[in-house]
Structure 1
Amino acid sequence: MKFSGKVWRYGDNVDTDVIIPARYLNTANMKELAAHAMEDIDPTFAGKVEQGDIIVAGKNFGCGSSREHAPGALKAAGVACVVAESFARIFYRNAINIGLPLIELGEGDININAGDTLVVDLDGGVAENTSTGEKFTVPPLPGFIQDIAKVGGLVEYTKQQLAK
């Protein structure tokens, strides 16, 4: 799997209430939720994010509640993957379930800024910030998690596995 997109950069402890504010959870329609994604931390996000863009964040991305709406809203907004130092465990699992790839880099200096273009090659285990030319290693996702992402989530993956 390979992704290339514009970077949206955020800091540490971006919680699920910031990713999709609770006041919009009167619908399960992910496209409607996508229109409000990240609005409390970045009011321009929903109106400017494009299909294939990438979120890069610090530690503990997706902390807070266990709602599946948070990764679903990001995916519906067009986010191809999220790269962060670390993720909240339940957010990580929910993202896998809906087929949103997450790349956990561990602690360190991530030299990626908002507006940069990032190319992430999960099969090759490398990412390149094409705005700076800097390359870095990304930990590979297990094959079955890549398979889940390729088909759009755990439900579709399970259906395909059962059909075999």
Structure 2
Amino acid sequence: MEKFTGKVWVLGDDIDTDIIIPTEYLAMPTVEDMKPYGFSPLRPELAAQMKEGDIIVAGKNFGCGSSREQAPEIIKALKVSCVIAKSYARIFFRNSINNGLLLIENDQIQDAVKEGDELTVTLGEKIEHNGVEYPIHSLPDNLMDIINAGGLVKAMQKRNNVK
């Protein structure tokens, strides 16, 4: 199983898509243009501080609110390894998979971590933090295939040998 370690950024419950990327930035031409404004209503500096491989840990109902594909695209553009939350809004969950963003559900780690901690994730098995292991389940193989391909479009191109 794939294993990775990352620095934790702690967010709360009900982080909606308007917090992930506010409406006023949706007209920008590219996700790269929007990326600096990710999470700006909550923490204006957060997008600039995130580094490749970091991990977002959030509470319940992550990605609630308006259905916008840009929300998972922004998180993916920030190059986080994954989002770990207690639960996800269903449309956000599906949009994330379709964009190749790894989501993990766990309802225990939020109370154990603080911002800046490191987590080690072994996909389909566990999250490790300060010597304590928290079990996690694998996403179904078909969803992991989409994530590993980089999103639904890339998965279909690969499946159909389209370049």
The TM-score, its normalising length taken from structure 1, stands at 0.92
From 138, 141, 144, the equivalent of 2:142 is: 144
SS in structure 1 of the partner of residue 160 of structure 2: helix
**1:82 to 2:83 alignment:** yes
Show CA shifts across 1:50-91 (max 9, x none).
Answer: 011110000000000110000100110111110000000000
Q: CA deviation at 1:108?
A: 7.9
Mind listing any 5+ residue stretches in structure 1 that lack a counterpart? none
Which runs of at least 4 in structure 1 moved beyond 3 Å after TM superposition? 106-110
2:108 and 2:134 in contact (8 A); partners too: no
1:31 and 1:77 in contact (8 A); partners too: no
SS in structure 1 of the partner of residue 97 of structure 2: helix
Q: CA deviation at 1:107?
A: 6.9
Give RMSD over aligned pairs: 1.7
5 Å-filtered alignment, 1:11-160, equals 11-106=12-107, 110-123=111-124, 125-129=125-129, 132-160=130-158
Q: CA deviation at 1:110?
A: 3.6
Q: Distance in 2 between matches of 1:78 and 1:63?
A: 21
Show CA shifts across 1:89-113 (max 9, x none).
Answer: 0000000000001011247864122
Residue 76 of structure 1 aligns with an amino acid whose one-letter code is A
Q: How many pairs are equivalent?
A: 161
The TM-score, its normalising length taken from structure 2, stands at 0.92
Q: Distance in 1 between matches of 2:113 and 2:32?
A: 28
Mind listing any 5+ residue stretches in structure 2 that lack a counterpart? none
Aligned-residue sequence identity (percent) comes to 45
Select between 55-64 and 114-123 the one with higher mean Cα deviation: 114-123
